Amino acid sequence: MKVFIDANLLVYLNTLTTEDVRVIYENFYLNLMAEHRIYTDVLVLDEVIYVSKKRYSVPYVTTLSFIESIVLPYTTVLPLSEDEYKEAAKLIEKYNVKPSDALHIGAMITNRIPTLVSEDKELDRISEIKRVWI
């Protein structure tokens, strides 16, 4: 099955330092990799870089290394184009969701990815996808 990884899981993997908490997220990620084909988009990567620096003071070079070694080898990174924008515009009008979330879901729809891995419970109301979390 195809799953789309939202930024929050990757931010946690990149920033958590408490081992007992970190292992929960690592095991979740490892299980996803073992059981599914993993996708994300370039906007998620941007969010991971930005949030890791802004909120957790992780240097850009550390996050880039994390993405290149832990994310990219196991994940297909989807581009965002006019097709994804058109789907996102429909979702914004229908559900009043944040533009970045709408773009992610637009990428999921255009690439036939049914499942979103995200802690964002407000996305449960979007009938076009299924959200899963730890």
- Residue-range domains of the chain with CATH: 2-132 (3.40.50.1010)
Q: With H, G, I as helix, E, B as strand and everything else as coil, classify residue 51.
A: helix
Q: Which amino acid is at 114?
A: P
Token pair for 38: 């993993």
Cα separation, 13 vs 4, in Å, equals 16
Helix boundaries (H) for the chain? 7-15, 19-35, 42-56, 60-66, 82-95, 99-110
pLDDT of residue 116: 98
Q: What is the mean pLDDT of residues 97-121?
A: 98
Cα separation, 9 vs 5, in Å, equals 7
Cα separation, 47 vs 26, in Å, equals 19
Give 41-95 pLDDT, tens digit per residue: 999 999 999 999 999 999 999 999 999 999 999 999 999 999 999 999 999 999 9
